[in-house]
């Protein structure tokens, strides 16, 4: 990595840790060059942009993940949503809203996942 790439990676890494946490970063960094692309592009380029708060980005992220059936990243983004200030009630509403667009089955899974994420947080 040259200096420039290193800077961009560093900016993405810092933003990633604002949105998620160390554990999530370790998982992404474990994916090699794909992980680096996620940190640099999705976090260094996109999440650091002005013009939309992290809270609003997380509404979009959760809705997009539920609607497209990409369930593996839902727990991570529900945790990020709570960190960004969305309440459990608001997350429940986002999931219900998504049910009208993508049907009940993916919303059912997401709601179960939300319960699990909230229970973990209380247990912590």
How many chain residues interact with a copy of itself (CB under 8 A)? 55
Say how many CA atoms lie within 13 Å of 87 toward its Cβ.
Answer: 3
| Nearest of 40, 119, 39, 42 to residue 78 by alpha carbon | 119
By CB under 8 A, residue 118 contacts a copy of itself: no
Q: What angle do CA 13, 15, 21 make, to 5 degrees?
A: 75
When binding is defined by CB under 8 A, the residue of 17, 60, 85, 120 that contacts a copy of itself is: 60
When binding is defined by CB under 8 A, the residue of 9, 21, 25, 37 that contacts a copy of itself is: 37
- Are residues 78 and 65 in contact, defined by beta-carbon separation less than 8 angstroms? no
Q: How far is the CB of 123 from a copy of itself (least distance, A)?
A: 18
When binding is defined by CB under 8 A, the residue of 6, 17, 34, 119 that contacts a copy of itself is: 34
When binding is defined by CB under 8 A, the residue of 73, 75, 83, 118 that contacts a copy of itself is: 73
By CB under 8 A, residue 75 contacts a copy of itself: no
Would residue 29 be called left, alpha or beta, if left means φ above 0 and alpha means ψ between -120 and 50 degrees?
A: alpha
By CB under 8 A, residue 17 contacts a copy of itself: no
Contact residues: a copy of itself, CB under 8 A: 4, 28, 31-35, 37-38, 40-42, 45-46, 49, 51-52, 56-57, 59-70, 72-73, 89-90, 92-109, 111-112
């Amino acid at each position: 990595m040259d200096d420039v790439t290193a800077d961009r990676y560093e900016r993405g890494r810092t933003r990633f840790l604002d949105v998620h946490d160390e554990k999530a970063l370790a998982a992404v960094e474990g994916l090699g060059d794909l992980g680096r692309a996620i940190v640099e592009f999705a976090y260094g380029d996109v999440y650091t942009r002005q013009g939309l708060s992290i809270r609003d980005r997380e509404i979009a992220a959760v809705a997009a993940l539920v609607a497209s059936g990409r369930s593996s990243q839902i727990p991570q983004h529900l945790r990020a949503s709570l960190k960004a200030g969305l309440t459990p009630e608001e997350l429940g509403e986002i999931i219900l809203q998504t049910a009208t667009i993508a049907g009940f089955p993916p919303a059912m899974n997401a709601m179960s996942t939300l319960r699990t994420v909230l229970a973990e947080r209380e247990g912590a």
